[in-house]
C-alpha cells in the first residue's frame, strides 16, 4: 500500500516535474543535499533548514554545479518551482540525481523546517 502511494505521489506529468513536498520529507536522508536556487537576498529572507544557496541566475552557477559530488542526491527548490525545475534539469544533464521539490511556501505548509 505505501509503495503504491509513493508511486502516485512521485508520478510526474508533461507539465510538472515537481516531487511533492510530502514525498521529499519522507525520502530525504541525512547525506542528501538541499539546494535553494533563489538569489542570496531571497535566501536570507527564509530558507529550508540545512539548505545551501546556489543562485541559478549567478554567473558562476554552472561552475558551482560542476563541483557537486556525483554520489549524492540533490533536492532543489525556489519560490515557485520554476527556477528549481530548470536547475534540476541542468544537474540531471550532468548525470546527477536531482529532484525539483517546488516552492518554499508549499514545502513549509507540508511541514519542512524553515529558517527565517
Residue 81 CA, distance from chain mean position: 8
For residues 53 and 115, the answer to whether their CB atoms sit within 8 Å is no
Give the active site residue among 78, 96, 107, 112.
Answer: 78
Q: Distance (Å, rounded) from C-alpha 66 to C-alpha 47?
A: 23
Active site residue 113: no
Q: What angle do CA 66, 94, 106 make, to 5 degrees?
A: 90
Give the span between the Cα atoms of 76 and 14, in whole angstroms: 19
Q: Report the alpha-carbon distance of residue 23 to residue 40 in Å, rounded.
A: 26
Question: What residues are labeled active site?
Answer: 78
Amino acid at each position: 500500500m505505501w509503495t503504491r502511494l509513493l508511486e502516485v505521489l512521485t508520478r510526474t506529468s508533461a507539465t510538472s516535474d515537481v516531487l511533492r513536498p510530502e514525498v521529499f520529507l519522507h525520502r530525504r536522508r541525512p547525506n542528501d543535499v538541499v539546494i535553494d536556487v533563489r538569489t542570496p537576498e531571497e535566501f536570507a529572507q527564509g530558507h529550508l533548514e540545512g539548505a545551501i544557496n546556489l543562485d541559478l541566475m549567478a554567473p558562476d552557477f554552472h561552475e558551482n554545479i560542476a563541483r557537486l559530488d556525483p554520489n549524492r542526491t540533490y533536492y532543489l527548490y525556489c519560490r515557485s518551482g520554476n527556477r528549481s525545475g530548470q536547475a534540476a534539469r541542468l544537474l540531471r544533464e550532468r548525470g546527477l540525481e536531482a529532484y525539483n521539490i517546488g516552492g518554499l511556501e508549499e514545502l513549509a505548509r507540508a511541514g519542512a523546517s524553515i529558517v527565517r
